Amino acid sequence: MKNTKGKILSSYARLKTHADRARMYVTYIQFIMLGYIAVKSLHKCTFRDFMFEYWYLTFPVMILLFLFICILLGYWDHKSGIREKENETVSMQNPAVRQMLKDLDEIKKKLNI
């Protein structure tokens, strides 16, 4: 019974990981669609007319701008340490990680470190 539960949890974890990764890619598509709808909703705007008249220029610039902003946010996230702290918090909730830390503490006590 316990082995079956472990297999189910492993399958669930694997499927959740795939779904999370897919969701990340879907957000890129949603962003592009949101931008398109926002621009289409502008009525009698010279910027909208310019964008659709020169779409081959403005759309790649918008995508590059989006990627640049994403890179800046990622850099800020990396420098601020938010992701590392989040991973540390999630890891501490994992029983296997807690057991490893407990074992390491015991080893340190035995070695008088």
In a domain, 98, yes or no: no
In a domain, 17, yes or no: yes
Tell me the pLDDT tens digit for each residue of 21-30.
Answer: 788 888 888 8
Do 55 and 64 form a contact (C-beta atoms < 8 A)? no
Q: Give the pair of three-digit tokens for residue 41.
A: 């909703």
Structurally, the chain folds into a number of domains equal to: 1
Nearest to 62 by CA among 77, 76, 47, 78: 47
Q: Give the pair of three-digit tokens for residue 96.
A: 């296997």
In a domain, 103, yes or no: no
Distance CA 64, CA 36 (A): 15
In a domain, 34, yes or no: yes
In a domain, 52, yes or no: no
Residue with the bigger pLDDT between 60 and 81: it is 60
Which residues lie below 8 Å from residue 92, measured CB to CB, with a gap of 6+?
98
Domain that holds residue 10: 1-41
Confidence band (pLDDT; 50, 70, 90) for 98?
confident
* pLDDT of 87 over the 70 cut: yes
Model's pTM, two decimal places? 0.50
**H or E stretch including 24?**
helix 2-41
